[in-house]
Amino acid sequence: MNFGEQIKQLRKSNEITQQEMGARLGVSRQAISHWENNRNLPDIEMLIIISKEFDISLDILILGGNDMNNMTEKIIRDGSELRKMKMKINAVKIGVFLFILSLISYFIGLFFAPISKENYFGDFSEYTMLSGLIVVFVVGLLSFSERIQDKKNDERYILKMIGPACMIFGVLLYTFTLWTGLISGLIGILLSFVGFILIIFQNLSKE
Look up the pTM and report it: 0.39
Report the pLDDT averaged over residues 80-109. Answer: 66
Tell me, yes or no, whether 73 lies in a domain. Answer: no
Residue 191 one-letter amino acid:
L
Which residue range is the domain that position 54 belongs to?
3-67
> In terms of domains, do 118 and 193 share one?
yes
pLDDT in tens, 103-161: 666 566 556 555 444 444 455 556 666 666 667 667 666 666 666 666 555 556 666 67
> In terms of domains, do 57 and 127 share one?
no
DSSP 8-state symbol, 67: S
Give residue 161's pLDDT: 72
Instruction: Return the top range by mean pLDDT from 11-15, 67-71, 124-128.
Output: 11-15
- Between 182 and 31, the more confident residue is 31
**Cα(75)–Cα(57) distance, integer angstroms:** 16
> In terms of domains, do 105 and 178 share one?
yes
Instruction: Return the top range by mean pLDDT from 34-38, 55-59, 70-74, 153-157.
Output: 34-38
Residue 44 one-letter amino acid:
I
Among the listed residues 122, 129, 123, 121, the one whose alpha carbon sits nearest the alpha carbon of residue 102: 129
Of 15, 34, 67, the one marking the end of a domain is 67
Whether residue 32 contacts residue 22, with contact meaning beta carbons closer than 8 Å, is answered with: yes
- Between 74 and 8, the more confident residue is 8
**Cα(99)–Cα(127) distance, integer angstroms:** 10
